[in-house]
Amino acid sequence: MVLVARQKQTLFLLAVGLLAWLVPGAGHFVLKENKRSIIIFTTIMLTFCVGIYIGSIGVINLFGATPWYVVGAQIMNSPIVLALGQLTRGGAYPVYGWPNEIGQIYTSTAGLLNLLCVVNAVYLAYLRGVQTAGG
């Protein structure tokens, strides 16, 4: 009985984390944190879009800027980055100089913010599961 409850909680935590990565703020939305969800979505999407605006989609470059893409956490924004990475494959949209660097910084910052929000959503879901089990 305890094993089944633990498996359900683990699946719920994974679902919250996956939703929070797919759409910024969706993990908090599932937890009924609507205001926080809207703030997270707006902040992360605006930061990401400003980075794309400054540097074009060329700043998302899997092969030319791998540290920014993977280690720099552009991929943590959402699966949209995977699609944009496919569009820019092969250097189809070259960007040089300051626009490239600033765009990469903004898009990576948005990804790292989303990573923090994913962790926060999973932690809140875990706390709620512990409270319901314990009390």
Percent of the chain with pLDDT over 70: 87
Q: What is the mean pLDDT of the chain?
A: 86
pLDDT band at 64 (very low <50, low <70, confident <90, very high): low
pLDDT at residue 123 in the model: 96
**pLDDT score at 54:** 93
Residues ≥6 apart with Cβ < 8 Å to 38: 25
- Give the DSSP per-residue string, 22-76: HSTTHHHHHTT-HHHHHHHHHHHHHHHHHHHHHH-GGG--TTTSHIIIIIT-GGG
Residue among 104, 52, 103, 45 nearest 77 (CA): 45
State the pLDDT confidence band at 99, using cuts at 50, 70 and 90: confident
Q: 51 and 106 in contact (C-beta within 8 Å)?
A: yes
Contact predicate 24/37, CB 8 Å: no
- The answer, yes or no, to whether residue 16 has pLDDT greater than 90, is yes
Q: Is the pLDDT of residue 132 over 70?
A: no
